[in-house]
Amino acid sequence: MHKNSLSLLLLALLLTYNTNNAVAQKKSKNRIKVENLDHFRVSPKLVVGIVVDQMRYDYLTRFWNHYGDDGFKRLVNEGFNCKNNHFNYAPTSTGPGHTSVYTGTTPSIHGIIGNNWYDKKTDQEVYCASDDTFASVGTTSDAGKMSPHRMTVTTVTDQLRLHNQMRSKTIAIALKDRGAVLPGGHTANAAYWYHGMDEGNWISSTFYMNELPKWVIDFNTSNTAESYNKPWTTLKDINTYLESGLDNNNYEGLFTGQTTPTFPHDLPGLWSSNGKYDIIKATPYGNSITADFAIAALDGEDLGADTITDFLAISFSSTDYVGHKYGVNSKEIQDTYVRLDVDLARLFKALDKKVGENEYTVFLTADHGAVHVPAYLKDQKIPAGYMDGEELVTKFQEFLKYKYGTTDLVKNTSNYQMFLDHDVIKNLDLQIGEVQSDIAQELLNYKDIDKVYTAQQMWQNEYTRGIPYILQKGYNQKRSGDILMVLKPGTISYSPTGSSHGSPQIYDTHVPLLFYGKGIRKGSTTMRTEIPDIAPTISTLLGIAFPNGSTGTPITKVLK
């Protein structure tokens, strides 16, 4: 009797264990299934990448009280703000900047070492997006002969399309061709950029299409561009723009035909003498027409219409044109950002309506910062100035003749790099490393130059911080020069009016990085982040492979 009871008890326990185990396994399978579904629900219908050309980080804080609730403040208050975000390479310019944002790496890997650079193979200057093997679409000019062929790696936009068997759609838009071509990657469905002059149209390249789609043709014929041929006045009372300098000063450039750089700027009166439709680019209206076109693209390209994630890459370029002409402390730059804030609010409202609130993800950053006008800094008793190029060239040529008997050793100087003629050096029975070192030592004696590094140093060392780290990340073994020069802080090679960029100094590297929308946490960080971190962060959000040259790291604090 006891044995039978014990057997029955063991049988009951066994059945209970098997039943519970089966239930547990079923729950586990269901949980995995639910977790998988939750993962797919995190993927947004649309990713919107926004690059604001020449946006310093402090434009967020300086002009904060003038922004509305639905533009920059929406991104900051409801999204994630990386306050200590930097470019980790130089030169800091538009082509490399846009490429680094979307490839998750630096010019040392992706190959876009400048907007233009000296090509050592062809012995001529090349442009980062030019490609004569393709034709213009939407214009009879050569302005559309572009492609991303000089970019040697993939972008996050490429990886998204590859991940979804090309069912995702990528559309890239900018006033500047390079601001659209490079973010769009090698597989973009379309990249569109603005051609001014007598046309004022959005155009493309046969790399993407043979003719413009109907919605673009309709936009070009809608007189939208013509509507911006109007005076540029401040959006708000100019007397409330206390965060910028005097309206009339000696630090700002002029449109042809102007006598003072002051508001209002009479675009209709200046139209013919300033490239007609081109003048729009150097006003905040260039950003407005970019927003108009991007909003039209949402419907025209049917973006974010299904569960397969699409990508819209937008670059607002007018901020750069205005900064170059008027400088970072001008009433014009302040008004441009106040107006851009309104354009961003319009864009976000259109995204809410078309794609749905919390169904899209946005990141906003810049392609570089900018320096205060050195003439202004000097007047404030801050060390600054302009490189005397003629004096430097004269003195350096005298050195070459004295040291080597010829000036033929140098083939090109551009982007603060010097390219030497290795054949000439070899024929003189000289060692390239010794020549590089001797020239570097000579250049260090010049008053405007702060630091000099050689290609041999870039090859032989691995720098982890400071200026040499930034230079090394921008140094491409196949494309960069033999000598890398850094000007003193606050010193630039530029006109005495307006701001510029390109250096490894912090005013050129510190730029905003904001994330907002689906899959993004609310919050902020003062932890250092770097531009190449953006693409891996978005890739992680989407669950796709990183761009194939990526060297950045996902910013985990950003992601839910």
Q: Catalytic residues, which ones?
A: 94
Distance CA 279, CA 344 (A): 22
Using alpha carbons, select from 75, 99, 93 the residue that is nearest to residue 156.
Answer: 99
For residue 108, which phi and psi values (nearest 5 degrees)?
Answer: -60, -25
Task: Give CA–CA dist 544/309, Å, rounded.
Answer: 11
Q: Is there a contact between 318 and 336 (Cβ–Cβ < 8 Å)?
A: yes
What is the 8-class DSSP label of residue 322? H
> Which of 243, 103, 109 lies closest to 538, judged by CA?
103
Beta sheet of 523-530, edge-to-edge order? 136-137, 201-205, 190-195, 170-174, 310-316, 46-52, 360-366, 513-517, 80-86, 523-530
Give the Cα separation of 156 and 161 in Å (integer).
9
Amino acid identity for residue 351 in this structure = L
| Rounded alpha-carbon distances, angstroms, from residue 393 to 176, 237, 384, 390, 396 | 32, 47, 21, 5, 5
Task: For 188-202, give the DSSP string.
Answer: -SEEEEEETTTT-EE
φ, ψ dihedrals at 379, nearest 5°: -70, -20
- Cis ω before 91 (30° cut-off from 0): yes
Burial call 217-249: b when 16+ CB within 10 Å, e when fewer? eebbeeebbeebbeebebbeebeebebbbebeb
Q: For residues 348 and 362, what is the distance between their CA atoms, to the nearest angstrom? A: 9
Distance CA 87, CA 122 (A): 30
Long-range contacts of 8-17 (CB under 8 A, 24+ apart): none
Under a CB-based contact definition with an 8 Å cutoff, are residues 198 and 222 in contact? Answer: no
Q: How many CB atoms lie within 10 A of CB 274?
A: 18
